[in-house]
Chain A
């Protein structure tokens, strides 16, 4: 589904991603872990089409297409979803209008008729239950005045509506209490299907108690320095990132 080969990217001339290669297949959940400043969020931004990072080398192939040539909105319509670490507040734009516009863009892309207002509201109601999001929140402006946890739930709610093929969740667990964490993780698990995949970016192991990854990568200083099964996450939790540092220096 997604093949990243020797990807390098720089922000204001400074190389942040120093050659990343990675393959995600349909049905898989990959976790990318790593200390602060290792390039996790930059990788997510590059995949979603944010233009602050400049790709200097490498290729990213998504469903057989060159992902890096696609505009951000087209990546979304092709099935990529980025769950933001810091979801943006958009005063004056209602959640309903925002998601309805987005969904209908997706439908248009697939050659489907736009959803009627009543069908859309029905869909919203149905998806709301999945992430236990408060009805009041969806009638407000996008993320405006939401708490940290509500914002994250709202990301999963949007994901539930757009039903992406590849979800990239950028530190969705940061700033969540244990209940919110469980709800967010449940949402992700319930949306899992054999034909879609997810990349879960996280600093801590604890999210992986709820979302069980097939593959765990450790990103350090712009490179993937270790890849293994879910046991790697537990090992990392136990030994800390210092262990990775030592491991890298040894090699």
Chain B
């Protein structure tokens, strides 16, 4: 029955090879999903450009590659990771480090924060929070047919777990630092589960970094449940090297009157694909989905957004921007789906891109499917150059061309950054974007150290 192309077969073989070890290391509940997921993966395979949602993204370079290892930690890795953790100087109390997709501390894999909030390893939490995990894990993929999501479900065994009980409010954000480090080219997958119960308020920042110069492929799935009247902010900051491929799938399920804000900021990365799925699963919910990327060289950055309005009186807003230099390419695919019962929906989408060279390319595609008749929806996309008139206006005030160009690009990017609610973080992101635009962006390690001084 398996007639998949060779490269998908390769990942199936990887599954066969490692599944025993994976199963031994994971909670039974997570294991119970694996068989069905791998079957589905064998039907769908690794996405190709024939898949509508991957039409402008070629995964070949990173998937047609023989990764030396699929990362499953040995006890010695934990020791190594433990040392690394000490390296990250005085991380704030709410910091979490994931090494190659695993929670590295041997002791205290789960921590309690004020308000009865718990953060830690998903694998570890599956015993203590089995009822919560069984209620939410794997529930919000909504029939997603992406082979990579199935592959993740089939093989991932750890990641971040967050439990925010009813009414809990955490003033400081939780920062997750994803590090990948390996001597050989490495493929890794992790799985995050975030549960924000009714009336709670929670902010998480996920930073993606590469620590060694080998080829990396990361395929991560994050599931989020946001209860009634709850507020949830998620921000992703990606700063990986050009030989790294980062694929993230984020599924956010919202209940009645909840508010969500998602922000994907890609500063650097070889191939980045972020798919963000917002399911507005109750009346009066609000979802804001923002994104910004800065790309150069041969980088390719793809943002896929899928907003589903399933109930009446909900509002969604998408704003994605990209700056592409040299031969960089980018893609944006924004889907808005309005169910026939989702009357009085308000849904906006905007995608603006700046090409700095003739060789840079941007593909942008709105996809609106509206089955209700009383809705307010709009979409707009632009791909263009920097505004010459604005450039001259600035020059006419004495600002030299290089500086004026920088200010214009920064201004363009700031429209996304300004939606970040934590002010200190907004400032920090502004600085990082400015550094990136000037070509001075530092390595991730120094970035982390500064980040944790924020809170």
Q: Are A72 and B392 in contact (CB under 8 A)?
A: yes
Q: Are A97 and B407 in contact (CB under 8 A)?
A: yes
Q: Are B407 and A93 in contact (CB under 8 A)?
A: yes
A241 lies within 8 A of chain B by Cβ: no
With a cutoff of 8 Å between Cβ atoms, the chain B residues found around residue A105 in the complex are: 398-400, 403
Give the interface size class of chain B: 20 to 34
Q: Are B399 and A87 in contact (CB under 8 A)?
A: no
- Distance (Å) between the CB of B434 and the closest chain A CB? 11
How distant is the Cα of A60 from the Cα of B290 in the complex, in angstroms? 50
B15 lies within 8 A of chain A by Cβ: no
Once A88-B387, A93-B408, A98-B407 are accepted as A-B contacts, the answer to whether A48 and B415 lie under 8 Å apart by CB is no
How distant is the Cα of A87 from the Cα of B389 in the complex, in angstroms? 9
- Distance (Å) between the CB of A117 and the closest chain B CB? 14
Q: Which of A76, A92, A97, A142 contacts B396 (CB 8 A)?
A: A76
- Bitwise, B381-396 to A at CB < 8 A (1) or not (0) is 0000001011011111
Q: Are A49 and B390 in contact (CB under 8 A)?
A: no
With a cutoff of 8 Å between Cβ atoms, the chain A residues found around residue B401 in the complex are: 71, 73
Interface centre among B393, B400, B415 (most CB of A within 10 A): B393
How distant is the Cα of A113 from the Cα of B408 in the complex, in angstroms? 25
With a cutoff of 8 Å between Cβ atoms, the chain A residues found around residue B404 in the complex are: 73
With a cutoff of 8 Å between Cβ atoms, the chain A residues found around residue B393 in the complex are: 84, 87-88, 90, 142
A50 lies within 8 A of chain B by Cβ: yes
With a cutoff of 8 Å between Cβ atoms, the chain B residues found around residue A72 in the complex are: 392, 395-396
How distant is the Cα of A98 from the Cα of B392 in the complex, in angstroms? 13
Q: Are B400 and A90 in contact (CB under 8 A)?
A: no
How distant is the Cα of A106 from the Cα of B397 in the complex, in angstroms? 9
How distant is the Cα of A88 from the Cα of B404 in the complex, in angstroms? 14
Q: Are B399 and A92 in contact (CB under 8 A)?
A: no
Q: Are B397 and A98 in contact (CB under 8 A)?
A: yes
B412 lies within 8 A of chain A by Cβ: yes
With a cutoff of 8 Å between Cβ atoms, the chain A residues found around residue B414 in the complex are: 92
How distant is the Cα of A39 from the Cα of B16 in the complex, in angstroms? 78
B413 lies within 8 A of chain A by Cβ: yes
With a cutoff of 8 Å between Cβ atoms, the chain A residues found around residue B396 in the complex are: 48-50, 72-73, 75-76, 81-82, 84
- Bitwise, A94-112 to B at CB < 8 A (1) or not (0) is 0001110111011001000
Q: How many residues does chain A have at the interface if contact means C-beta atoms less than 8 Å apart?
A: 32
- Distance (Å) between the CB of A89 and the closest chain B CB? 8
Q: Are A90 and B390 in contact (CB under 8 A)?
A: yes
How distant is the Cα of A102 from the Cα of B404 in the complex, in angstroms? 10
B411 lies within 8 A of chain A by Cβ: yes
Question: What residue in chain A is nearest B412 (Cβ atoms)?
Answer: A92
Q: Are A106 and B398 in contact (CB under 8 A)?
A: yes
With a cutoff of 8 Å between Cβ atoms, the chain B residues found around residue A75 in the complex are: 396
Q: Are A141 and B411 in contact (CB under 8 A)?
A: yes
Q: Which of B387, B397, B415 contacts A102 (CB 8 A)?
A: B397
B348 lies within 8 A of chain A by Cβ: no
Q: Are A162 and B397 in contact (CB under 8 A)?
A: yes
How distant is the Cα of A91 from the Cα of B390 in the complex, in angstroms? 10
A77 lies within 8 A of chain B by Cβ: yes
Can you list the 6 inter-chain pairs with the closest CB atoms, starting with the nearest? A92-B411, A76-B398, A93-B411, A102-B397, A72-B395, A88-B393
Given contacts A84-B393, A92-B415, 4 further A-B contacts (CB under 8 A): A76-B397, A90-B393, A92-B412, A162-B397
Which residues on A are within 8 Å of B, measured CB to CB?
48-50, 71-73, 75-77, 81-82, 84, 87-93, 97-99, 101-103, 105-106, 109, 141-142, 158, 162
Which residues on B are within 8 Å of A, measured CB to CB?
387, 389-390, 392-401, 403-404, 407-408, 410-415
- CB<8 Å pairs between A and B, sample of 26: A50-B392, A50-B396, A72-B392, A72-B395, A73-B395, A73-B396, A73-B400, A73-B404, A76-B395, A87-B393, A88-B389, A88-B392, A90-B387, A90-B411, A92-B408, A92-B412, A92-B415, A93-B410, A98-B394, A98-B397, A98-B407, A99-B397, A101-B403, A101-B407, A102-B394, A105-B403
